[in-house]
Structure 1
Amino acid sequence: MTSLYDPYPKTKIEGHQGELIQGWESILAQLQEKMEDILVIDTYPGVYDEEIKHELKKIPHDVWIDAIELFKDQETIYEQLKYHITDDRVFGRMYYGEIENFIVEDKKKALQEQAQKARQEGKKVIVYGYGANLIAQGLLVYLDLARWEITLRYRQGMPNFLADNQDEDALRKIKRGFFIEWRVADKYKRTFFDRIDYFIDTNDMNEIKMVSGKAVRDGLIQMAHRPFRLVPYFDPGVWGGQWMKSACNLDPDKENYAWSFDGVPEENSIYLDFGNGYIELPAMDLVLDQPKALLGKSVYSRFGAEFPIRFDFLDTIGGQNLSLQVHPLTEYIHRTFGMAYTQDESYYILDAKEGACVYLGLKEGVVPEEMISDLEAANRGEILFDAEKYVNKFPAKKHDHFLIPAGTTHCSGKDAMVLEISATPYCFTFKLWDWARVGLDGKPRPVHIEHGKKNIQWDRTTHWVEKNLVNAIYTLKEDEHVKEEHTGLHELEYIETRRYWIQDDVLIKNEDNVNMLNLIEGQSCLIESMDGSFEPFEVHYAETFIVPASVKNYKIVNNTNKTIGVIRAYVRKPKA
């Protein structure tokens, strides 16, 4: 079967066709025309400031104010944040502060007075940089950037904001971004999102693009009322496989692909298509701007403006075992890292080769002290850890579903293609054993036995796991049109998953609850509106897509001549 998977999905925005402005020459001309006295250009931390300033200074101006002058020096900021940065390569502590916590008030007042004085004197003023909106009001431009692009820039040597850490381990830079910088920047962006006059897409410096703030906001409203896809990204790994190359239309010359994040709004981006081109924005812009329409009132009241479900791919077909791992319990992640909820998850086996397996739960009679002692010795290089002595190993075949509530020891073995359905706290995997490997960077991959041993649920042993976590599937409804099955997740987890085997079509009532879905069998299907509010949306095999809560009812239509399969995840309503 020829793959129809689209790695670059775009959302067509109605009512603003042809409004995209491309290239520095056209962008500068537009800004010069619209600028009256003050041009304010705020940024997401991570943009290439020097390259951008070189272009923007071509706009005629009398006074240039750089917002970097607002901030405390890097040593002061580091001391202020070191509790949150931590010494760990991967884990920090969530920072819930504001941009103002890093600003010197006297400096801000002086820069505000400088801008106001210049305006009164009839001078043209440009204020540039992260925090510029705090200095002056004027034509407001925002330079946006996706988190995945920031991650790639960290790997290439870019430092964190106001840090001299170009040569630091990329994992540490990403950690500082995730736990601190991105949180603060998103919170700050929200305070003036509705006033932005123009957005500039700075993800690709060779293709700078700009569109009006109104067009972007209208586009986000449209997205929040119809099915859409996020822009996936793919990354190699030491255990990576070969399945995604053909299934997802990727570069066949790459050594492997390990991960794909195809349904993670915190990490993915969106493409807004204006007919004459598209801009790339962080998907978090949609979550932050349209949380109620996207998530629904119940989910929004429970999680706030955060997307609580994640779909991603783990490809070990032709690769190696994942690391043996465990995720933190809710109380532990909250107390230790400042997160409100934890990474409950499941492995849905999208495809598998003969001999594929999943390691899940502990064997009967495991002695905790003995297992931990062997893990510690193995990670010191003294022995090879005998995983099968301690951990259950279950055969895995296509369309099996393994449930993994937090605290359960687990990993996928080689030759499995996993659709991971989970909560979204991002990086909270405590590796226990990594099969004596090093990462692609040549360094040992981080292992966290101290965290792990405090979270392993030692009573999740063979009999309990077999009963509760392996293919806990039962039929809810079956007729000539559809077979609907409950496939998980475990009662300890807040995500519900349903699987549909569809002959012609099925009506889905989402009950004001955001839905994340994937076409797990068949070449394509259509998502159709019941009230005509959106055009039929076509989905292809293995594509993850989102149906916002605002789409009250919708139909999944089989537009092929064979049975198709769809898995759907949503947030369970709290029990009364």
Structure 2
Amino acid sequence: MTSSPSTYDKQPSVPLPPGSRVWLGAEAWQQLDDAARRAAGSRAPVVAVDCYPGVDVAAVVAELSEALPAYAVIDMEGAAKPIEQIDALIGRSLTDDRVFGVMSHFTLDEFYVEAELDALATAVADSGTPTILVGWGAALVPVATDVLVLADLARWEIQQRQRRGATNWHTDNAGEDNLRKYKRGFFVEWRTADRHKRTLFDRVDFVLDTNTSVREAGLITGDAFRGALEHAATAPLRVVPFFDPGVWGGQWMKERLDLDPSADNYAWCFDCVPEENSLLLEADGRVVEIPAMDLVLTQPRALLGEKTFARFGAEFPIRFDFLDTMEGGNLSLQVHPLTDYMLDTFGMHYTQDESYYLLDAAPGAEVYLGIKSGTDPDAMVAALEAATDGEHPFIAEEFVNTFPARKHDHFSIPAGTVHASGANAMVLEISATPFIFTFKLWDWGRVGIDGIPRPIHLEHGRKNIQWDRDTEWVTENLIDQVEVIREGDGVREERTGLHGLEFIEVRRHWFDTEAALDTDGTVNVLNLVEGDVVEVASPTGAFEPYRVHYAETFIVPASVGPYLIRRTVDSTSETFATVVASVRGTRITDN
């Protein structure tokens, strides 16, 4: 594998509206003070800083106390219920499992003592002192506030902090298994937080970026925040990718995408997972980082399209990510839950159907897919169970098909199909978005990079393996499914998947000069899988041309309608190809 200078943009941004400002540090706190005093007039101003769980509330309190000494800065989370009561309340959603819980439907007020919130409100109102209330749920305190601030934080940053020892909200679990920390966030805290945050978006006066240290935090007005997201839903955009190592990780991304050369490997890149990724909002060279999920929650119809929103609600149902095993190892042998099992067991209304698109592959690369014809299910399960003792390796090739994997191959993997990417492959995974619902069956006898054995989920897995997806079925339904849709004028459009059981439609466009596409009323997610650089343009000039480089994933919101992907004046490649994913049955022309 040879490397070349990377053009991959690891920090894409979305413009803030013209005239917007990003205030940093001391100037941000002064801006808050000025706004609060203007709004309060002759009264003592009251500010609420409502924090996403994971924000360092103590650091925010300390910084504001130092920067604005005239204010009483109060950590309002003292009004929360004792953690023992909260644990009892959420226990059924968390379960005893290390990885999986049940999707929760709590509202934030359930975590607080109403009488204590009332008492706090009375004390603030009676004090006559300028006051700042800080914490997750500051907006719940029933007192008139002059300025409302949303202190936001991306989930990827929360995970990094937890790995360094940060706790979940109001817990003392610094040393707990990171998978259990993530579980508490995923199934309870983040669901509750997003539900609460949606009540704030239309009325926040400021948004505070807490992804960096509080002292360096950036501040923008609520109007700038809302304006940037409204604009973002009308033009192509990218979220901020993040990269993570793994026990099977490879070297392709490190070399081709110009990542830290000192890292042992990179296994994953989440390049379009709005619940995990960030958006950078930029003005005059300054940026604030917000969760990309804020765009989904505030602009679901323009972003997703009416039919997709009607079907999924304010969730982004398509996920693009990279799985790099170049010079690495096999992924775990795994299976994803069937929709009925997903709903009944975890409370999630759709499942992780997926596919492997080979962005690149070394000679000899292969994909594990489906059960070998003639396999005895009891014998395979028994062999998997025996392998859990660490002394009886599971010989996957005796039970599971392997297929050669070459560049630009596309393998469909509907839920219930046993699968794994083998070593020496660079996979663009195109899938539905339910995140962590992967049942590992065999992990080649490895432990995680933290030295802890990675969890195996045989009990869940055996209930979801579709044993009739044997060699013949997989060969007929999941391999070499390319269908030419149209060809001419320098464009070849192909349907490359997915299987009829999956809700995602994938088309590939090969072109020399340009290809004309149309969102047709539903969100499009694309990746430039061949060629050096292109631009996405509006045939009516509705948005400025948007540059995309090789391997970059980008989103074209439903509201865009017709768009062009074309070579640029500095393109050097002779041929280009994009893959575009959308939700089947949600186009305006679908009946």
Shorter-chain TM-score tier: over 0.9
SS of the aligned residue for 2:58 comes to helix
Alignment pair present for 1:201 and 2:209:
yes
Alignment pair present for 1:459 and 2:468:
yes
Alignment pair present for 1:105 and 2:105:
no
- CA drift of 1:62 comes to 5.4
Partner of 1:124: 130
Q: Which amino acid aligns with 2:184?
A: R
- CA drift of 1:14 comes to 3.4
- CA drift of 1:360 comes to 0.1
SS of the aligned residue for 1:499 comes to strand
Partner of 2:158: 150
- 2:7 corresponds, among 4, 9, 19, to 4
Partner of 2:40: none
Partner of 1:506: 515
Alignment partners' CA distance in 1, 2:267 and 2:73:
46
1:20–1:276 Cα contact (<8 Å) kept:
no
For structure 2, the 5+ residue unaligned runs are: 38-44
- CA drift of 1:83 comes to 1.1
- CA drift of 1:480 comes to 3.0
1:235–1:260 Cα contact (<8 Å) kept:
yes
Partner of 1:361: 370
- 1:53 corresponds, among 33, 50, 61, to 61
Counterparts of 1:293-372 in structure 2, within 5 Å, are 293-372=302-381
1:237–1:259 Cα contact (<8 Å) kept:
yes
Partner of 2:295: 286
- CA drift of 1:558 comes to 2.2
SS of the aligned residue for 2:5 comes to coil
Counterparts of 1:412-491 in structure 2, within 5 Å, are 412-491=421-500
Partner of 1:408: 417
Alignment partners' CA distance in 1, 2:390 and 2:266:
28
2:57–2:75 Cα contact (<8 Å) kept:
no
Partner of 1:377: 386
Alignment partners' CA distance in 2, 1:196 and 1:468:
50
Alignment partners' CA distance in 1, 2:252 and 2:124:
56
Alignment partners' CA distance in 2, 1:97 and 1:343:
24
CA offset digits 1:3-45 (Å, max 9, x no partner): 210111112223134x11112x211211122223111111001
Alignment partners' CA distance in 2, 1:87 and 1:509:
47
SS of the aligned residue for 1:150 comes to helix
- CA drift of 1:115 comes to 2.3
Give the aligned CA root-mean-square deviation in angstroms: 1.2
SS of the aligned residue for 2:269 comes to strand
2:65–2:72 Cα contact (<8 Å) kept:
no
Partner of 1:27: 28
Alignment partners' CA distance in 2, 1:16 and 1:376:
63
Alignment pair present for 1:558 and 2:567:
yes
Alignment partners' CA distance in 1, 2:437 and 2:514:
38
Alignment pair present for 1:188 and 2:196:
yes
- CA drift of 1:128 comes to 1.2
Q: Which amino acid aligns with 1:4?
A: T
Alignment partners' CA distance in 1, 2:580 and 2:518:
12
Alignment partners' CA distance in 2, 1:13 and 1:328:
41
SS of the aligned residue for 1:374 comes to helix
Alignment partners' CA distance in 1, 2:225 and 2:540:
25
Partner of 2:231: 222
CA offset digits 1:303-350 (Å, max 9, x no partner): 000000000000000000000000000000111011010000000000
CA offset digits 1:23-76 (Å, max 9, x no partner): 2x2112111222231111110010112222111113144544322122110011
**Gap change, CA 1:338 and 1:352, over 3 Å in 2:** same
1:408–1:460 Cα contact (<8 Å) kept:
yes
Partner of 1:16: 19
- CA drift of 1:150 comes to 0.0
Alignment partners' CA distance in 2, 1:414 and 1:189:
42
1:236–1:256 Cα contact (<8 Å) kept:
yes
1:7–1:249 Cα contact (<8 Å) kept:
no
SS of the aligned residue for 1:322 comes to coil
For structure 1, the 5+ residue unaligned runs are: none
Partner of 1:533: 542
Q: Which amino acid aligns with 1:178?
A: F
Partner of 1:246: 255
Alignment partners' CA distance in 1, 2:279 and 2:480:
34
SS of the aligned residue for 1:89 comes to coil
**Gap change, CA 1:62 and 1:55, over 3 Å in 2:** closer
Q: What TM-score comes out, normalization by structure 1 length?
A: 0.97
SS of the aligned residue for 1:293 comes to helix
Alignment size in residue pairs: 571
Partner of 1:139: 147
Alignment partners' CA distance in 1, 2:542 and 2:98:
47
Alignment pair present for 1:546 and 2:548:
no
Alignment partners' CA distance in 2, 1:381 and 1:189:
46
1:12–1:275 Cα contact (<8 Å) kept:
no
SS of the aligned residue for 1:302 comes to helix
SS of the aligned residue for 2:104 comes to coil
Alignment partners' CA distance in 1, 2:459 and 2:324:
28
Alignment pair present for 1:568 and 2:580:
yes
Q: What TM-score comes out, normalization by structure 2 length?
A: 0.95
Q: 4+ runs of 1 displaced by more than 6 Å?
A: none
Alignment partners' CA distance in 1, 2:332 and 2:359:
19
